[in-house]
A and B are shown apart, each in its own frame.
Chain A
Amino acid sequence: MLRYLRLYRVFFRNCLIREMGFRWNFIIRFTTEIVWLATSLIWFHVIYSYVRDVGGWTRYQYLFLIGVSYAIQQTFESLLFVNCHRLSELIRTGELDFYLSRPINSQFLVSTRFVDLGGFANIFFGIGLAGFAWHKLSLPIHPGNLAMFVVLFLNGIIIYYVLMFSLMCLSFWIIRNESATGFFFQITELARQPAEIYNYGIKVFLTFFFPMVVCINFPANVMVRSLSLPQFFYGIAVGLLLLYLSTLIWRVGLRSYSSASS
């Protein structure tokens, strides 16, 4: 385990240097994400100047949701997105062999090799935004809730990862998979909305069959609205199950890959 952590540190540092090499890119990348966030905030501000709450979510509850969704998205993008994105190219060029020959779990290696730090500072912006909304709501801090929040936060990242990873694994069977990334972002839009805006059927579907609601709604609910204990455990169960599913997909994909390249 320690070995993996040390390995991770090396990847991290190298990427940091590389990122700083592109002078403008580093500064502007930072600004870009802030601008995206600002866009969401402008939209939020305009909507909530006309209504008091939407689907039961008041202004600061929704703001908290935005902050959390931003933080989860940025964390995912910084740590795992780049690697998933590269996967289709690794498969196509056969460079994947390089990763498979290492004495390290290949899925881990492929998924964590690179870190994209352009968005790293933005994670704190997201958390800051959530913190600001939290403050405005003047809710008491519950250590139990906070702990559940952290767990569900990580859980959300895992589900994001499984979604993106599965989409990219399609590259084992489909050659032209470039639009998968675009699909990922559009599908995760479903996760970033308060679940209460959907009508009943969709809400059920997004909670139980395609559990996007679990990613962001659950951690947000635990802090600013309410989340029951059964829901909490359900959320974790979904995350772990999906993670396991991703290892299965990986294995199946690898089998197809090895038989194709030999």
Chain B
Amino acid sequence: MAIIEVERLSKEFRKYTKQPGLWNAFKGLFHRKYQIVRAVREISLTIEEGELVGFLGPNGAGKTTTLKMLSGLIYPTAGAAHVMGFIPWERRNEFRRNFGLVMGQRNQLWWDLPASESLLLNKELYRVSDAGYERTVGDLVTLLGVKEQLGTMVRELSLGERMKFELIAALLHSPRVVYLDEPTIGLDVVSQKNIREFIRDYNRRHGNTFILTSHYMDDISALCQRVIIINHGRIRYDGRLRDIVDQFCQWKLVTLDCAKEVSREQIEPYAEIVSYNLPQIKLRVARAECPSLCHRLMDTLEIRDLTVEEPPIEEIIGTIFTEQSDDAFAASL
């Protein structure tokens, strides 16, 4: 059995609307309008133990709501889910003891006390043995390089250090399933890289399952083999990251570095010109034709160098994010 199984999970919310202006504000005292928002619509997915999966989606897409249901924080309107064999929203202690959550925008640590106190508290709450605690925390602080900061008050730590301790606090009970919600938000580039590498190593060594949500593409591309794109409450894509390009993007960018003068007219029959700045010419070429076209260009023209690029993955994903409605999308598939 897969470690996470989700079957047609749905969640609806009531959203109250406010109209502008003084008169409407007054009316609003007595009668409030609301609409039903279907945040999550029949999502189904399966995740195996040890996977590191990225959840992607614009704000309000339903990915956070899905994660909340899989954490047991809220109840679904319909559907079923099992994580490690438990139903998350029953919030069994055994489930919670094997589960960890890191929230980038919130901290779980006690602000005015040394970081070690928060860790000790988690140790007791999760019933980690003394020996296990020493070993695990010892490892983690060394790996993340915050050993010296154990006694520092959390309010005096830098953002990066705080995030590292948040990670340690969430991992010290060696959970089998961990959700990381925006773990690198607001951090400097170096800290982001450190945390990314740490997560990748940890996953490789311990084989636990991670679900990661992030708005930083670098996080996703560095860590996740598999991504699930959620928009308008539905799964738009579930598969390998690199396959997104193949599936959603039909063209490539070819850059020519010309040895001799080449005119527009010479190029035009072959492909669409994106930019023409001798000695550099950029062309937009359909995926399927690309290899043969490049071959021909190299044969016919005097070209010093030829580069083939794919459009950046953010762009592709961005177009998936900004699609307007279900029907239009269904039609395009």
Contact = CB atoms under 8 A, between A and B. Distances in A.
Q: Do A and B come from one complex?
A: yes
A27 B29 CA distance: 8
A26 B22 contact: no
Interface stretch (A17-25, A149-157, A238-246): A17-25
A27 B18 CA distance: 17
B28 interface: yes
Interface in A1-27: 13, 16-17, 20-21, 23, 26-27
Closest 4 CB pairs of A and B: A20-B25, A23-B29, A17-B25, A17-B22
B32 interface: yes
Interface in B7-35: 18, 21-22, 25-26, 28-30, 32
Contacts of A20: 22, 25-26, 28-29
B198 to A, nearest CB: 33
Interface residues of B, number: 9
A173 B265 CA distance: 75
B29 to A, nearest CB: 5
Nearest to A19: B25
A17 B25 CA distance: 6
A73 B21 CA distance: 30
A3 B31 CA distance: 37
B28 A16 contact: no
Contacts of B26: 20
Majority SS of interface residues in chain A?
Answer: helix
Interface residues of A, number: 8
Nearest to A16: B22
19 contacts: A13-B22, A16-B22, A17-B21, A17-B22, A17-B25, A20-B22, A20-B25, A20-B26, A20-B28, A20-B29, A21-B18, A21-B25, A21-B28, A23-B28, A23-B29, A23-B30, A23-B32, A26-B29, A27-B29
B19 to A, nearest CB: 10
Contacts of A13: 22
B25 to A, nearest CB: 4
Contacts of A16: 22
Contacts of A17: 21-22, 25
A27 B28 CA distance: 12
Interface in A22-60: 23, 26-27
Contacts of B25: 17, 20-21
Contacts of B18: 21
Nearest to B25: A20
A13 B26 CA distance: 13
A16 B21 CA distance: 11
Most chain A CB within a 10 A radius of its CB, from B22, B29, B32:
B29
Contacts of B32: 23
Nearest to A21: B25
B78 to A, nearest CB: 30
Nearest to A20: B25
A193 B288 CA distance: 90
A121 to B, nearest CB: 14
A17 B29 CA distance: 11
Most chain A CB within a 10 A radius of its CB, from B21, B22, B25, B32:
B25
Contacts of A27: 29
A13 B21 CA distance: 11
Interface in A122-137: none
A122 B226 CA distance: 61
Nearest to B31: A23
Contacts of B28: 20-21, 23
B48 to A, nearest CB: 47
B22 to A, nearest CB: 5
B115 to A, nearest CB: 22
